[in-house]
Each structure stands twice: as C-alpha cells, then as structure tokens.
Amino acid sequence: MSSSDKAWKGRFSGPTDAFVEQFTASVGFDKRLYHHDIQGSQAHARMLAAVGVLTAAEAMRICEGLAAIEAEIDAGQFTWSVAREDVHMNIEAVLTERIGETGKKLHTARSRNDQVATTIRLYLRDQVDQILARLRDLMRTLVDIARNEADTVMPGFTHLQVAQPVTLGHHLLAWFEMFMRDHARLVDARRRINVLPLGAGALAGTSFPIDRHLTARLLGFAGVTENSLDSVSDRDFVIEVTADAALAMVHLSRIAEELVLWSTPQFGFIELADGFCTGSSIMPQKKNPDVPELLRGKAGRVTGHLVGLLMVMKGQPLAYNKDNQEDKEALFDTLDTLSDSLRALAELLPATTFHRERMRSEAGRGYATATDLADYLVRRGMPFRDAHEASGQAVRLAISRGVDLAALSLDELRQCASVIDETVFAVLTLDGSIAARNHFGGTAPAQVRSAAARAAERLQALKEIEEVAD
Ligand code: ARG
C-alpha cells in the first residue's frame, strides 16, 4: 500500500515518514485483538441496518466479509500491513478490497477511538473469564490437598521462626483465601469492563440515529457507558485488572517463596517433581526450584506493568490521546503472565511430595508449645502475663538442658509454676496443641476438615454464578 492510501489521505498532501509509520504502528501487537475487533464491527453493522443507516443487504455483506477475513486470520493466511497502522484499519481496508464499496460504509457513525475501546473491553472480558477459571482450578487443587493434609502437623512461623504448630491443611487453606479474594476482585472489575463504549464516536458522539442499547445487547454487554468523552479516554478498567493481577502475582510470589524454602535440604518439607525443576550445568547435586523462582520473579514484571499503565494515564487531558495505544503490550503481558503462573502452580502442587514426618519433627523443635503451657497455667487460675513468664522460664530451662518442653520432668516444670501437675504433658504434645485450637478459623484437624468442606462449597457457588452470567 502506498502512503497515499491512508484512511485519512484527504487532509494530507505529503506521505507519512517511513520511520514515523513504524513508530506509530501498533499492528505488530494489537493484531491479537482481531477476533474481538471483528465481533464489534459485525454488531455495529447489524445495528446500523436496524436503524436504517445501512440496508440489510449491506450489513450482511459486511458481516460475511468480516467472517471470511476472520477465518483467514485464524488460518494464518492474512497479511498484516504496518502501513495500515493497527488491527482495526488492516481489517477494514482488506474488507473493502474484498467486498468493494460497501466495505467503506462500515465505519459510519464510529471512530477508531470508540472502536478500540470496545475491542479492548470485549477482549478483556474474555481474558478475565479465562483467568477466573484458572483461579478456580488452582483453588480446587488447594482444597483437595488441604483435605488430605488436615492432620499433618507442621511448624507455623512468624518472623520465619517456629511459632506454634499448625496443620499443613490449614496453611494451604490460607493460600486458598488469598485466591478467593483475587477472584472476587476480578469479578468486581469485570462489571466495570462489561459496558459498551461504542457510539461515543471520536469523542462527542455521532449525528446518526444509532441504537447503542441494541449494539450492547448484540455483544452481551450489561449496559452502555454514560458519557462519550469518558468512553474513549479512560483505561481505568485496564489498570484495575492489572492491579488485581499484580496482587494475585504477589500472592503467587509469597507461595513460591515458601515452596523454594520448603524444598531446601535445610527445611526438607517438600520434594518438587523432577518435571518442575532443572539441574546445574556445573554442580551435579543440584535440583533447582525454577518454577517457583519464576513465579516469584514474574510478580516483578506485572507490578512494573501496573506502574507503567498508571503513568500512561497520568495527566492525559480529555478525550482520546494516542498515549492510550501504550496500554496494550502491558495488558497482554500481564494477562499472559498471570494465566501461565496460575497454571504452573496448579500443576506443580499435585506433583509435589510433602514430607509429613519431617514437618512434624521440625514442629517439635523450637518450643512451639510454649503458648500452650501458658494457656494451661491460665486455666489453672494464673493471670496470662504471669503464665507467659513462667512458660518462658520453662523454655529457658529446656534450652539449657538441650531438650524440648515435653521432655522436661514434672519436677522441673513445677519449678517454673507450682500449679503444674501431670496433666500438663497432654498439653505439651503437638497433637494436643493442634487439637486445642478448635474454633472457627482455627488449625485443629476437625476445623480444617470443615473449612475445606466450606471452601469446596464456596467454589461451587462461584461456578454457579459464572454459569448464570453466561
Ligand atoms: N491503535 C489505536 C489505539 O490503540 C487505535 C485508536 C487510534 N485512534 C486515533 N485517533 N489515532 O489506541
């Protein structure tokens, strides 16, 4: 195509500078929007026919022509042109080449500004649905493993120091809760994505008698945007999804860090499957936790995209500005990264071996039942602060003897608090400690089993909501 074939050629006497053509083009990356661009154009054409701006025959030719182009792109047989700048103009120009004059009527009552806003919303709505499904897959995996590990005792940490015993099932359900909130945030963002901006034109609407509500219905949007200037200018819905994605990636990075730690010989809590690790080119003994490390690292790029998008939007005057073309690469990479990361974790976890004995023995070190001893003293009438001090003395004694609390004799324990009798030993065991935390939200195996059952029901409810929305 020569530069005199530009869609805007009427106003111009000189050709576009060759470098500027490259610099301003987005087709290299926005071609991935072709399906949603075509979907939007077909609905627009049908609406124009319904209000009498196009004839029914014209709308049909346009829709069929677009369908043929879509099939060609699907088959990898479409030639994209940088001179045609973006996905929208590439498709429209080829449509006109194929179906002739009628193709030129498609852009009636529309601008690329409301076209691109519509296209991104359609694309993002689909992508969010796919990510929500991935989140549900991952949560289902977590519930399944948590149910199996409801009785598995492990050390719970604060400050990465052994704090109190917990169950592995409880720990896994903590991860589940993070993803539940990520899911809820994306469902919420989806509501703001799911409105039609088409009809805003370049910025001020159109002089044609369009029916925006009809177009919205054809595209499955829940409503239409209220203000034409806002419709073409804001990308807050893109930023919102990216913020939600960054937070989900931060959750993934925290879990990944735990998996990295747990897989070290020092912790020895888990063994990652060979298929999820790599070796070292020099150190034969190494088995590196690459997948969790990448999950941890990828949180960085998504957070970077969030900051980048905020900066693209910052200070833009109403209405559309070309700055907004910069939204796409960040958004695409964010969605790809999050989707792959969720998949990686959902596949890695069921292939992971949990070393239950090692977890239990590590929970038995570090005086994890010291709080249970203090609570025991409180039940015998001692104020909690005094009980805390007495239990601390018992820990000091145990440290000096090089044994755990449960290995102290009754006489030694009674030196710390005279109200102690032989019933204390039940309290100082790991199973006693775990079983005692038997309240809603606690770590007792019985609680973890009912929490897992509730989690499964909550997941099922999400699925049903999703099915109603479809
Ligand atoms: N490729 C552009 C984008 O991504 C499409 C809209 C261009 N509109 C314009 N007036 N130049 O935002």
Ligand 1 contacts CB of residue 113 (under 6 A): yes
Render 29-89 in DSSP notation, one character per residue. HHGGGHHHHHHHHHHHHHHHHHTTSS-HHHHHHHHHHHHHHHHHHHTT-PPP-GGG-SHHH
Nearest CA to ligand 1 atom 3: 325
**pLDDT surpassing 90 at residue 89:** yes
Please state the atom number of ligand 1 nearest to the C-alpha of residue 85: 1
Structure confidence by residue, pLDDT tens digits, 8-37: 888 898 898 999 999 999 999 999 999 999
| pLDDT of amino acid 281 | 84
pTM reported for the whole predicted model? 0.95
CA proximity to 370, closest of 399, 349, 394: 394
Ligand 1 mean position, distance from CA 91 (Å): 14
- Of 274-278, 326-330, 421-425, least confident by mean pLDDT is 274-278
What kind and span of H or E run contains 271? strand 270-271
**pLDDT surpassing 70 at residue 470:** no
Integer Cα distance of 306 and 248 in angstroms:
12
Tell me the percentage of the chain whose pLDDT exceeds 70: 98
Ligand 1 contacts CB of residue 96 (under 6 A): no
Indicate the domain borders of the chain. 3-108, 113-148+166-356+463-469, 370-428
Structure confidence by residue, pLDDT tens digits, 93-134: 999 999 999 999 999 999 999 999 999 999 999 999 999 999
**pLDDT surpassing 80 at residue 151:** yes
**pLDDT surpassing 70 at residue 468:** no
pLDDT band at 464 (very low <50, low <70, confident <90, very high): confident
Block residue for tokens 């060979």: 274
Ligand 1 mutation pick, 86, 110, 198, 313, max ligand atoms within 8 A of CB: 86
| pLDDT of amino acid 366 | 84
- Of 4-13, 249-258, 309-318, least confident by mean pLDDT is 4-13
Integer Cα distance of 427 and 424 in angstroms:
5
Q: How far is CA 55 from CA 48, 64, 250, 379, in A?
A: 8, 14, 52, 85
Structure confidence by residue, pLDDT tens digits, 255-269: 999 999 999 999 999
**pLDDT surpassing 60 at residue 3:** no
Integer Cα distance of 50 and 431 in angstroms:
71
**pLDDT surpassing 90 at residue 7:** no
| pLDDT of amino acid 286 | 84
Tell me, which fold does domain 3-108 have in CATH? Answer: Fumarase C; Chain B, domain 1 (1.10.275)
pLDDT band at 246 (very low <50, low <70, confident <90, very high): very high
Integer Cα distance of 155 and 168 in angstroms:
9
280 as an active site residue: the answer is yes
**pLDDT surpassing 70 at residue 469:** no
Give the up-direction half-sphere exposure of residue 144: CA atoms within 13 A in the CB hemisphere.
11
The answer to whether residues 345 and 295 touch, using CB atoms and an 8 Å cutoff, is yes
Q: Angle CA(149)–CA(151)–CA(157) in degrees, nearest 5?
A: 80
| pLDDT of amino acid 4 | 54
**pLDDT surpassing 90 at residue 421:** yes
**Mean pLDDT of the residues in the chain:** 96
Tell me the percentage of the chain whose pLDDT exceeds 90: 92
| pLDDT of amino acid 446 | 97
Backbone φ and ψ for 5, nearest 5 degrees, come out as -90, 10
Q: What average pLDDT does the segment 224-253 reach?
A: 98
Whether residue 387 is preceded by a cis peptide bond, meaning omega within 30 degrees of 0, is no
| Burial label, 227 (beta-carbon count in 10 A; 0-12, 13-18, 19+) | middle
Handedness of CA 359, 363, 364, 366 (dihedral sign): positive
Question: Parallel, antiparallel, or unpaired: how do β-strands 270-271 and 353-354 relate?
Answer: antiparallel
**Which one of 280, 409, 418, 450 is the catalytic residue?**
280
Integer Cα distance of 451 and 432 in angstroms:
20
pLDDT band at 78 (very low <50, low <70, confident <90, very high): very high
Q: How far is CA 470 from CA 51, 131, 258, 339, 466, in A?
A: 27, 15, 37, 21, 6
Tokens of 67: 């369908």
pLDDT band at 317 (very low <50, low <70, confident <90, very high): very high
CA proximity to 325, closest of 155, 133, 89, 154: 89
Ligand 1 contacts CB of residue 322 (under 6 A): yes
Structure confidence by residue, pLDDT tens digits, 366-389: 899 999 999 999 999 999 999 999
Out of 3.40.50.300, 1.10.1030.10, 1.20.200.10, 1.10.3720.10, which CATH number does the structure's domain 113-148+166-356+463-469 have? 1.20.200.10
What kind and span of H or E run contains 110? none
What amino acid is encoded at 110 in this protein? Answer: R
Ligand 1 mean position, distance from CA 322 (Å): 6
159 as an active site residue: the answer is yes
CATH class of 370-428: mainly alpha
Integer Cα distance of 177 and 124 in angstroms:
24
User: Which residue has better confidence, 1 or 146?
Assistant: 146
Q: What average pLDDT does the segment 383-404 reach?
A: 96
Tokens of 299: 């949180």
pLDDT band at 401 (very low <50, low <70, confident <90, very high): very high
**Which one of 159, 207, 281, 400 is the catalytic residue?**
159
